[in-house]
Amino acid sequence: MFDDFYSQFKLNFIDENRWVSLLKGLGTTLEITFLALILGLVIGIVIAAIRSTYDKNQSSLKKKGGFGYVVMRILNFICNLYLTIIRGTPVVVQLMIAYFIIFANAKDGTLVAVFAFGLNSGAYVAEIFRGGIMSVDNGQFEAGRSLGFNYPQTMIHIIIPQAFKTVLPTLCNEFIVLIKETSVAGYVGVMDLTKAGDIIRGRTFSAFMPLIAVALIYLLLVIILSSLVKRLERRLRKNER
Protein backbone atom coordinates (compact mmCIF):
# COMPACT_ATOMS: atom_id res chain seq x y z
CA MET A 1 0.00 0.00 0.00
CA PHE A 2 2.78 2.35 0.88
CA ASP A 3 4.49 1.46 -2.37
CA ASP A 4 1.33 2.38 -4.22
CA PHE A 5 1.20 5.74 -2.44
CA TYR A 6 4.81 6.41 -3.22
CA SER A 7 4.50 5.60 -6.89
CA GLN A 8 1.45 7.85 -7.19
CA PHE A 9 3.34 10.61 -5.41
CA LYS A 10 6.32 10.17 -7.68
CA LEU A 11 4.14 10.13 -10.78
CA ASN A 12 2.24 13.28 -9.87
CA PHE A 13 4.90 15.46 -8.35
CA ILE A 14 8.40 14.23 -9.05
CA ASP A 15 8.30 12.86 -12.60
CA GLU A 16 8.99 15.51 -15.20
CA ASN A 17 9.46 17.97 -12.32
CA ARG A 18 5.71 18.42 -12.02
CA TRP A 19 6.10 20.01 -8.56
CA VAL A 20 7.76 22.96 -10.26
CA SER A 21 4.59 23.80 -12.17
CA LEU A 22 2.62 23.62 -8.91
CA LEU A 23 5.11 25.98 -7.32
CA LYS A 24 4.91 28.35 -10.30
CA GLY A 25 1.11 28.17 -10.10
CA LEU A 26 1.26 29.06 -6.43
CA GLY A 27 3.47 32.04 -7.31
CA THR A 28 0.93 33.22 -9.87
CA THR A 29 -1.95 32.80 -7.42
CA LEU A 30 -0.09 34.83 -4.80
CA GLU A 31 0.85 37.48 -7.36
CA ILE A 32 -2.74 37.90 -8.55
CA THR A 33 -4.10 37.91 -4.99
CA PHE A 34 -1.55 40.40 -3.72
CA LEU A 35 -1.92 42.88 -6.58
CA ALA A 36 -5.71 42.54 -6.68
CA LEU A 37 -5.79 43.10 -2.95
CA ILE A 38 -3.92 46.38 -3.30
CA LEU A 39 -6.09 47.49 -6.20
CA GLY A 40 -9.19 46.48 -4.26
CA LEU A 41 -8.08 48.39 -1.16
CA VAL A 42 -7.41 51.55 -3.17
CA ILE A 43 -10.74 51.36 -4.99
CA GLY A 44 -12.55 50.42 -1.77
CA ILE A 45 -11.12 53.30 0.25
CA VAL A 46 -11.87 55.86 -2.45
CA ILE A 47 -15.44 54.67 -2.86
CA ALA A 48 -16.04 54.40 0.88
CA ALA A 49 -14.72 57.96 1.29
CA ILE A 50 -17.05 59.30 -1.40
CA ARG A 51 -20.10 57.41 -0.18
CA SER A 52 -19.69 58.19 3.51
CA THR A 53 -18.85 61.83 2.80
CA TYR A 54 -22.02 62.06 0.75
CA ASP A 55 -24.09 60.33 3.43
CA LYS A 56 -22.74 62.43 6.29
CA ASN A 57 -22.83 65.81 4.56
CA GLN A 58 -25.88 65.40 2.36
CA SER A 59 -27.98 68.03 4.10
CA SER A 60 -25.27 70.69 4.39
CA LEU A 61 -24.12 70.09 0.80
CA LYS A 62 -27.69 70.43 -0.40
CA LYS A 63 -28.09 73.67 1.51
CA LYS A 64 -24.95 75.18 0.05
CA GLY A 65 -25.97 73.81 -3.34
CA GLY A 66 -23.93 74.75 -6.38
CA PHE A 67 -21.09 72.91 -8.01
CA GLY A 68 -19.91 70.83 -5.02
CA TYR A 69 -23.30 69.27 -4.49
CA VAL A 70 -23.70 68.33 -8.16
CA VAL A 71 -20.22 66.75 -8.28
CA MET A 72 -20.85 64.75 -5.12
CA ARG A 73 -24.20 63.54 -6.42
CA ILE A 74 -22.67 62.38 -9.69
CA LEU A 75 -19.75 60.66 -7.91
CA ASN A 76 -22.12 58.98 -5.50
CA PHE A 77 -24.29 57.79 -8.38
CA ILE A 78 -21.29 56.33 -10.23
CA CYS A 79 -20.17 54.52 -7.07
CA ASN A 80 -23.61 53.05 -6.54
CA LEU A 81 -23.79 51.89 -10.14
CA TYR A 82 -20.38 50.20 -9.82
CA LEU A 83 -21.34 48.48 -6.57
CA THR A 84 -24.61 47.22 -8.03
CA ILE A 85 -23.03 45.80 -11.18
CA ILE A 86 -20.01 44.21 -9.49
CA ARG A 87 -21.96 42.67 -6.66
CA GLY A 88 -24.79 41.60 -8.94
CA THR A 89 -22.77 39.47 -11.38
CA PRO A 90 -20.53 36.40 -10.89
CA VAL A 91 -16.81 37.04 -10.71
CA VAL A 92 -16.07 34.43 -13.41
CA VAL A 93 -18.30 36.29 -15.84
CA GLN A 94 -16.58 39.58 -14.95
CA LEU A 95 -13.21 37.94 -15.49
CA MET A 96 -14.20 36.63 -18.91
CA ILE A 97 -15.71 39.97 -19.93
CA ALA A 98 -12.45 41.65 -18.93
CA TYR A 99 -10.34 39.17 -20.87
CA PHE A 100 -12.39 38.53 -23.99
CA ILE A 101 -14.11 41.93 -24.41
CA ILE A 102 -12.46 44.82 -22.57
CA PHE A 103 -8.85 43.68 -23.05
CA ALA A 104 -9.45 41.49 -26.09
CA ASN A 105 -5.90 42.11 -27.32
CA ALA A 106 -4.21 41.40 -24.01
CA LYS A 107 -1.40 38.87 -24.09
CA ASP A 108 -0.87 38.64 -20.35
CA GLY A 109 -3.88 37.02 -18.74
CA THR A 110 -2.37 37.52 -15.29
CA LEU A 111 -2.67 41.32 -15.47
CA VAL A 112 -6.24 41.06 -16.72
CA ALA A 113 -6.98 38.77 -13.79
CA VAL A 114 -5.46 41.32 -11.39
CA PHE A 115 -7.69 43.98 -12.93
CA ALA A 116 -10.85 41.86 -12.74
CA PHE A 117 -10.29 40.53 -9.22
CA GLY A 118 -9.17 43.93 -7.96
CA LEU A 119 -12.26 45.61 -9.37
CA ASN A 120 -14.42 42.89 -7.87
CA SER A 121 -12.81 42.98 -4.47
CA GLY A 122 -12.97 46.79 -4.39
CA ALA A 123 -16.76 46.70 -4.33
CA TYR A 124 -16.81 44.50 -1.24
CA VAL A 125 -13.98 46.35 0.50
CA ALA A 126 -15.82 49.65 -0.10
CA GLU A 127 -18.92 48.46 1.66
CA ILE A 128 -16.88 46.96 4.51
CA PHE A 129 -15.09 50.27 5.05
CA ARG A 130 -18.26 52.31 4.76
CA GLY A 131 -19.93 50.10 7.33
CA GLY A 132 -16.95 50.60 9.63
CA ILE A 133 -16.99 54.37 9.24
CA MET A 134 -20.73 54.59 9.84
CA SER A 135 -20.44 52.36 12.91
CA VAL A 136 -18.21 54.84 14.78
CA ASP A 137 -20.36 56.81 17.21
CA ASN A 138 -21.37 60.18 15.80
CA GLY A 139 -20.24 61.80 19.06
CA GLN A 140 -16.65 61.02 18.03
CA PHE A 141 -17.21 62.95 14.84
CA GLU A 142 -18.76 65.88 16.71
CA ALA A 143 -15.95 65.93 19.26
CA GLY A 144 -13.40 66.16 16.46
CA ARG A 145 -15.29 68.90 14.65
CA SER A 146 -15.86 70.85 17.88
CA LEU A 147 -12.10 71.00 18.45
CA GLY A 148 -11.73 72.64 15.05
CA PHE A 149 -10.73 69.70 12.85
CA ASN A 150 -12.20 69.90 9.36
CA TYR A 151 -13.99 66.95 7.78
CA PRO A 152 -10.94 65.15 6.29
CA GLN A 153 -8.82 65.72 9.42
CA THR A 154 -11.57 64.31 11.62
CA MET A 155 -11.80 61.28 9.35
CA ILE A 156 -8.05 60.65 9.27
CA HIS A 157 -7.17 61.22 12.93
CA ILE A 158 -10.32 60.11 14.72
CA ILE A 159 -12.82 58.10 12.71
CA ILE A 160 -10.74 55.88 10.40
CA PRO A 161 -8.38 54.51 13.11
CA GLN A 162 -11.43 53.40 15.07
CA ALA A 163 -13.25 52.11 12.00
CA PHE A 164 -10.20 50.10 10.94
CA LYS A 165 -10.26 48.12 14.16
CA THR A 166 -13.91 47.24 13.68
CA VAL A 167 -13.53 46.16 10.06
CA LEU A 168 -10.30 44.19 10.41
CA PRO A 169 -11.90 40.75 10.89
CA THR A 170 -14.34 41.33 8.02
CA LEU A 171 -11.59 42.68 5.82
CA CYS A 172 -9.48 39.61 6.56
CA ASN A 173 -12.39 37.43 5.58
CA GLU A 174 -12.66 39.30 2.28
CA PHE A 175 -8.98 38.63 1.56
CA ILE A 176 -9.40 34.94 2.30
CA VAL A 177 -12.33 34.89 -0.10
CA LEU A 178 -10.16 36.67 -2.67
CA ILE A 179 -7.37 34.07 -2.47
CA LYS A 180 -9.86 31.32 -3.14
CA GLU A 181 -11.73 33.26 -5.82
CA THR A 182 -8.58 33.61 -7.91
CA SER A 183 -8.84 29.85 -8.52
CA VAL A 184 -11.10 30.59 -11.49
CA ALA A 185 -8.28 32.46 -13.25
CA GLY A 186 -7.74 29.32 -15.36
CA TYR A 187 -10.83 30.34 -17.35
CA VAL A 188 -8.75 32.96 -19.14
CA GLY A 189 -5.67 30.81 -19.58
CA VAL A 190 -3.80 31.91 -16.48
CA MET A 191 -1.60 29.17 -15.05
CA ASP A 192 -2.49 29.59 -11.38
CA LEU A 193 -2.32 26.96 -8.64
CA THR A 194 -5.67 25.35 -9.46
CA LYS A 195 -4.93 25.23 -13.18
CA ALA A 196 -1.50 23.71 -12.53
CA GLY A 197 -3.05 20.95 -10.42
CA ASP A 198 -5.69 20.35 -13.05
CA ILE A 199 -3.09 20.04 -15.79
CA ILE A 200 -1.15 17.46 -13.78
CA ARG A 201 -4.41 15.55 -13.34
CA GLY A 202 -4.91 15.61 -17.12
CA ARG A 203 -1.41 14.29 -17.77
CA THR A 204 -1.25 11.55 -15.15
CA PHE A 205 -4.91 10.50 -15.23
CA SER A 206 -4.96 10.44 -11.42
CA ALA A 207 -7.10 13.06 -9.71
CA PHE A 208 -6.49 12.36 -6.03
CA MET A 209 -2.92 13.50 -5.49
CA PRO A 210 -2.81 16.78 -7.44
CA LEU A 211 -6.24 18.02 -6.37
CA ILE A 212 -5.75 17.20 -2.69
CA ALA A 213 -2.32 18.84 -2.87
CA VAL A 214 -3.86 22.00 -4.35
CA ALA A 215 -6.55 22.02 -1.66
CA LEU A 216 -3.95 21.61 1.10
CA ILE A 217 -1.89 24.52 -0.23
CA TYR A 218 -4.92 26.84 -0.26
CA LEU A 219 -5.82 25.68 3.23
CA LEU A 220 -2.32 26.38 4.49
CA LEU A 221 -2.33 29.88 2.97
CA VAL A 222 -5.65 30.72 4.60
CA ILE A 223 -4.56 29.39 7.99
CA ILE A 224 -1.34 31.43 7.91
CA LEU A 225 -3.17 34.61 6.91
CA SER A 226 -5.86 34.12 9.56
CA SER A 227 -3.33 33.69 12.34
CA LEU A 228 -1.39 36.78 11.24
CA VAL A 229 -4.52 38.91 11.30
CA LYS A 230 -5.59 37.48 14.65
CA ARG A 231 -2.27 38.53 16.10
CA LEU A 232 -2.61 42.04 14.63
CA GLU A 233 -6.14 42.30 15.98
CA ARG A 234 -4.99 41.37 19.46
CA ARG A 235 -2.29 44.02 19.35
CA LEU A 236 -4.73 46.70 18.24
CA ARG A 237 -7.21 45.77 20.93
CA LYS A 238 -4.71 45.60 23.77
CA ASN A 239 -5.36 49.12 24.97
CA GLU A 240 -9.09 49.10 24.79
CA ARG A 241 -11.78 47.83 27.11
Partner 1 sequence: MKDNDSLIVVECLKKHYLNGKVKALDGIDTEIKKGEVVVIIGPSGSGKSTFLRSLNLLEEPTDGKILFEGTDITDPKTNINLHRQKMGMVFQHFNLFPHMTILKNMTIAPKKLLRKSEKEAKKKAMSLLKTVGLEDRANDYPSQLSGGQKQRVAIVRALCMEPDVMLFDEPTSALDPEMVGEVLEVMKNLAKDGMTMITVTHEMGFAREVATRVLFMDEGKIVEQGTPSQIFDYPQSERLKDFLSKVL
Q: Give the residue among 42, 40, 76, 27 at the shortest CA–CA distance from 56.
A: 76
Q: Could you tell me how many residues of this chain bind partner 1 (CB under 8 A)?
A: 25
Instruction: Select 80 or 162, whichever has its Cβ closest to partner 1.
Output: 162
Amino acid identity for residue 182 in this structure: T
Residues 221-240, one symbol each (x = binds partner 1 by CB under 8 A, - = not), give ------------------xx
Which of the ranges 56-64, 94-102, 124-132, 185-193 carries the binding residues for partner 1, by CB under 8 A?
A: 56-64
Residues from 111 through 140 that contact partner 1 (CB under 8 A) = 137, 139-140
Q: Which H, E and C letters describe 134-161, residue by residue?
A: HHCCHHHHHHHHHHCCCHHHHHHHHHHH
Amino acid identity for residue 190 in this structure: V
Could you tell me if 29 and 179 are in contact, meaning their C-beta atoms sit under 8 angstroms apart? yes
Return the number of other C-beta atoms located less than 10 Å from residue 31's C-beta: 17
Among 74, 87, 142, 220, binds partner 1 (CB under 8 A): 142
Residues from 143 through 172 that contact partner 1 (CB under 8 A) = 143-150, 153, 157-158, 161-162, 165
Could you tell me if 111 and 188 are in contact, meaning their C-beta atoms sit under 8 angstroms apart? no
Task: Confirm or reject binding of residue 241 to partner 1 (CB under 8 A).
Answer: yes
Site residues, partner 1 (CB under 8 A):
59-60, 63-64, 137, 139-140, 142-150, 153, 157-158, 161-162, 165, 239-241
